[in-house]
């Protein structure tokens, strides 16, 4: 079935570094959502993207809807310790409307 490939699976970086993660698929999507999950809590919506090529920022976070509509990336600039958590992408398939989640990227930031 359709699936999203989210990478990297985990990252361990130094405070102040920039971070980039992405989700790719062979399917076409009409919506991309990026979430962050802190331990023991529910995922929190960070950014929603609705158009191919769309580039949206939320503070130090920037996400883009790939022009092929098959991928999306999330960048975090100047990381800080509270950026620690699991980041999920989710894409809504254009043909079925089904929402698919990536497996998550675990981010650890060393002060």
Closest CA to 63 of 23, 4, 97, 29: 23
**What CA–CA distance (Å, rounded) separates 2 from 37?**
23
**What CA–CA distance (Å, rounded) separates 26 from 91?**
12
Residue from 19, 22, 35, 69 touching another protein (CB under 8 A): that is 35
Give the x/- contact pattern for another protein in 66-95, rule: CB under 8 A. Answer: ----------------------x-x-x---
Part of the chain binding another protein (CB under 8 A), chosen from 15-23, 42-50, 58-66, 67-75 = 42-50
Please state the length of the chain: 111
Q: Which residues bind another protein (CB under 8 A)?
A: 30-31, 33, 35, 40-45, 48, 50, 88, 90, 92, 97-99, 101-104
């Amino acid at each position: 079935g359709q699936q999203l490939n989210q990478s990297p699976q985990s990252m361990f970086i130094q405070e102040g570094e920039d971070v980039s993660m992405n989700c790719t698929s062979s399917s076409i999507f009409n919506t991309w959502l990026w979430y962050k999950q802190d331990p023991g809590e529910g995922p929190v919506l960070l950014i929603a993207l609705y158009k191919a090529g769309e580039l949206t920022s939320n503070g130090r976070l920037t996400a883009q809807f790939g022009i092929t509509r098959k991928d999306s990336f999330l960048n975090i600039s100047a990381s800080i310790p509270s950026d620690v958590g699991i980041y999920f992408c989710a894409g809504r398939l254009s043909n079925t409307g089904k929402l698919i989640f990536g497996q998550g990227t675990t981010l650890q930031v060393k002060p």
